[in-house]
Amino acid sequence: MASADLPAGLLDALRQAGRVVFLTGAGVSAESGVPTFRDALTGLWARFRPEELATPEAFRRNPQLVWDWYRERRRQVAAVAPNPAHCAIATLQARLPHTLLVTQNVDGLHQRAGSVDAVEFHGNLFTNRCRGCGHTAPQGDPQLAAPPPCPECGELMGPGVVWFGEAIPGEALERAWRGASEADIVLAIGTSGLVTPAASLPEVARQGGALVVEVNLQPTPLSAQADFVVTGPAAQSLPAIVAVL
């Protein structure tokens, strides 16, 4: 995408912005080839529904089954690389004065591209978390065949992602809401605008007087309310912004 294809006024708005919030969803990761949550349930896993594997109840019922599926999920995600959209966001964070990255993705690709201090709404696939005491730790050995015991309380550690039926971490919510309410611009990138509470962040920002930019392959419920809409792959749109900003 050439800079001439970007909406008029977008670049000037970014140049003048003091505080910018990036909100990213599954569309950004899909451009790296990360399988969607349901696409990952293929082959031996095709007989399961995601809700049968991604809940605290499923882990209590059969921790080995859940661990095995997430080990396969980790293998799939580790095999892909950050795309130009991830890299462009990291570059923009380095160039703009005050930014906050809020992501619904659990794959860690933003960090691998150079972004720091991301607010991870749904946790991180490459950490482990104890549902008993809340202790978190890095994944460790990717070949570990069984869920490890928690060093704090002895219960089994599961993947560090937010499962169905679990709340978004309070610190992530607080940082995201504060960032949106103080933002001058929010860029919603590759997100469907359907999954709450992340879908509410652009509206929180608008109520505070911020401009909202949507970058997506297709229209979403956010499109009609956005001040700027950039239609196309984020891996093309965001580098075009970086090139001329």
pLDDT in tens, 215-231: 999 999 999 999 999 99
The topology (CATH level 3) of 3-33+82-122+168-244 is Rossmann fold (3.40.50)
Asked if pLDDT for residue 117 goes beyond 80, the answer is yes
Does pLDDT of 3 surpass 90? no
227 Cβ neighbours under 8 A, 6+ residues apart: 13, 211, 212, 213
* pLDDT score at 194: 84
Average pLDDT over all residues of the chain: 93
CATH 3.30.1600.10 fits 43-79+130-161, yes or no: yes
Cβ neighbourhood burial of 239 (10 Å; 0-12, 13-18, 19+): middle
- Total residue count of the chain as it appears in this document: 245
Which residues neighbour 156 within 8 Å (Cβ) at sequence distance 6 or greater?
Answer: 59, 63, 130, 147, 148, 149, 150
Give the residue range(s) of CATH 3.40.50.1220 domains in the chain.
3-33+82-122+168-244
Catalytic (active site) residue 122:
yes
pLDDT tens-place string over residues 122-136: 999 999 999 999 999
Is it the case that residue 37 has pLDDT exceeding 60?
Answer: yes
Three-class secondary structure of residue 115 per DSSP: coil
The single residue of 98, 110, 122, 135 carrying the catalytic annotation is 122
Q: Where in the chain is the domain with CATH 3.30.1600.10?
A: 43-79+130-161
From CA 217, how far away is CA 233, in angstroms rounded?
Answer: 6
pLDDT at residue 43, as a whole number: 73
Strands 211-216 and 123-130: unpaired
Who wins on pLDDT, 51 or 238? 238
Task: Tell me the pLDDT band of 4, cut-offs 50, 70 and 90.
Answer: low
